[in-house]
Structure 1
């Protein structure tokens, strides 16, 4: 097997961080790249998903956005905290 030198440029901070991560995993950066290359060949493609997926919003954020929309529709989106608390007291009273 003939070895070939492969070189490319990368941001120094990224290289340093990658070396630190590899070190914690017990390998060096060169071994990591050889592992990646082997997986690329074995998988006959990128060995991880490269899709841009829609970020799903959690239910709490969705509820807050709906509440804001409703408040704007009723013209009450600019109430102060004191005004909101007063409206709550009146509704409970």
Structure 2
């Protein structure tokens, strides 16, 4: 089977940290990357969760809360002009 070279850029510190972790696990960076690609192919997708941690997403939580409030007060269908007018009124 033919092999191919894959290259990409990353920060030096990320590479060093990764190599240090892999060294403790008895792996090399190329071996780890090959394992990742192999699992990707076996799973036919990312072999781990790609969900955002709710604790890491305060902006998303704020938007969700704003959406719930808008529905509660029946203002979820406001136009941008109506929203800006409300904001202007509050700032007065």
Which category describes the TM-score, using the shorter chain as reference length? 0.5 to 0.7
> TM-score scaled to structure 2, two decimals?
0.57
Query: In the aligned structure 2, how far is the partner of 1:54 from the partner of 1:5?
Result: 37
Query: In the aligned structure 2, how far is the partner of 1:54 from the partner of 1:26?
Result: 33
Greater Rg over alpha carbons, structure? 1
Partner residue, 1:11: 11
Aligned length: 55
Deviations 1:42-76 (A, max 9, x none): 00000011112433xxxxxxxxxxxxxxxxxxxxx
Query: In the aligned structure 2, how far is the partner of 1:53 from the partner of 1:24?
Result: 27
> TM-score scaled to structure 1, two decimals?
0.57
CA RMSD of superposed structures (Å): 0.9
Structure 2: runs of 5+ lacking an equivalent = 56-92
